[in-house]
Structure 1
Amino acid sequence: MFFEPHKRDRTLLPHDPFKAMIAPRPVGWISSMNRAGQVNLAPYSFFNAFSDAPPIVGFCSDGEKDSKTFAADSGEFVWNMATYDLRDEMNASSAPLPRGESEFGHAGLETAPSQFVRPPRVAASPCALECKVTQIIQLTDIEGKATDRWLVMGQVVCIHVADDYIADGRIDVLRMKPIARCGYMDYTAIESFFSMKRPAGAGNAAAGG
């Protein structure tokens, strides 16, 4: 089978398979605050790291949602690790609440202060990245037509890791059980690893980072 994305056979594939193929995707659980002090918390299925020197992460907003507009207004946001233990709270924070109503309160989450940015962190999350916005890019299609999709990029200026999850010089990701988005309504939890030695000269072959 092959098909153009906008011409798929909906009798065979009634649901768009694109997101199911690009999986798993880290959850961008983004907390943000505008200059007026309003706080937002929302999960984003399109999120990832793009550089480690400097460390840069980004999330893509479908339209002018609060996370994008607040990050643009203040120039800051925080990524919080969504874990299996926090799956229900993460899901609850995706509810379309009126602006000004707290997703933290709606999801029953406590906030924790950040060090270098104003938006708070999810206190229960084992990891968080404080970020300063570096770019906000409006995505275009192959014809150069602007879309209503906005890629928000931020440089990490502070990292938080719960001490309980540090062992032998590494963070214990398996114990954290981060969750990732798959297709449709599906998620997965990271509960196992396998290792492979990379070929000589292939990036961080020796560093294991």
Structure 2
Amino acid sequence: MQYAPSELKPRERYKVLTSFVLPRPIAWVTTIGPTGVVNAAPFSFFNVFCEDPPLCMFAANLRPDGRVKDTVINIRRTAEFVVNMTDEPLAKAMHESSGDFPPDIGEPDYLDLKLAPSTKIAVPRLADAPFAMECKTWKEIDVNGDRLLVMGEGIHFHIRDELWDHAAMRVHMERYHPIGRMFADRYCRTDDRVVFPPAEGAK
């Protein structure tokens, strides 16, 4: 089976890409609106791609009716956001926060999610997230007028204490249970892991 992307409709391309680029990490992005309402929305076209400076990127498309999402509106106003990672205990709430909430209803408040203040920006983080990264907008890229790539520079990290080995600078993988996005409403657990010995390279 082969496809030329130019011969597929955008929705068909989406289905191909999200069916095979798996699992995808999820950025649960918190932002703050002009009246102080805190928005939390998940994005699975997301990843980190640099450590110096620490940069992440997620893609936010328009709503089905053509409206700009609250996350984008808020980021364009403040140039601040927090990327919160999701683990199994938070997975259901994360999924439910993907619904179409009006701007005056904050997902954390509606879903009884605890917030905690950030250190360097005004946008709060999700208190129970295993990892949260305070971000300032680094760059925006408009794609065809219907999708925005938001690049953020991580300026402060928050890690749940029991997950981190400070001496080794390594996560306790037996304690961290992240959730990955598959496609549609499907997600995956990531506890079934494989460890290979270091690659020696060509002889």
TM-score, structure 2 normalization: 0.85
Deviation digits for residues 34-69 of structure 1, max 9, x if unmatched?
A: 454332100011110021111001110012211111
Structure 2 partner of 1:157: 155
Aligned length: 190
Please, which moves more after superposition, 164-173 or 77-86?
164-173
Structure 1 partner of 2:183: 183
Structure 1 partner of 2:164: 166
Structure 1 partner of 2:65: none
Amino acid at match of 1:159: F
Q: Distance in 2 between matches of 1:171 and 1:24?
A: 19
Amino acid at match of 2:87: T
SS at 1:19 equivalent: helix
Deviation digits for residues 149-179 of structure 1, max 9, x if unmatched?
A: 1001110000001111123522224422111
Q: Distance in 1 between matches of 2:15 and 2:134?
A: 33
Say which of 87, 92, 97 aligns to 2:101: 97
Structure 2 partner of 1:207: none
TM-score, structure 1 normalization: 0.83
Structure 2 partner of 1:111: 115
Q: Does residue 134 of structure 1 match 2:133? A: no
Change in CA separation of 1:84 and 1:74 when aligned onto 2, cut-off 3 Å: same
Q: Distance in 2 between matches of 1:199 and 1:49?
A: 27
Q: Does the 8 A contact of 1:20 with 1:182 survive in 2?
A: yes
Unaligned runs of 5+ in 1: 140-145, 201-209
Q: Does the 8 A contact of 1:174 with 1:190 survive in 2?
A: no
Q: Distance in 2 between matches of 1:171 and 1:41?
A: 25
Deviation digits for residues 91-138 of structure 1, max 9, x if unmatched?
A: 111121111201002222110110001111111111100001011110
SS at 2:94 equivalent: helix
SS at 1:16 equivalent: helix
Structure 2 partner of 1:205: none
Q: Does residue 83 of structure 1 match 2:82? A: no
C-alpha RMSD over aligned residues: 2.1
Deviation digits for residues 13-51 of structure 1, max 9, x if unmatched?
A: 9x9332111111100100011454332100011110021
Q: Distance in 2 between matches of 1:26 and 1:149?
A: 19
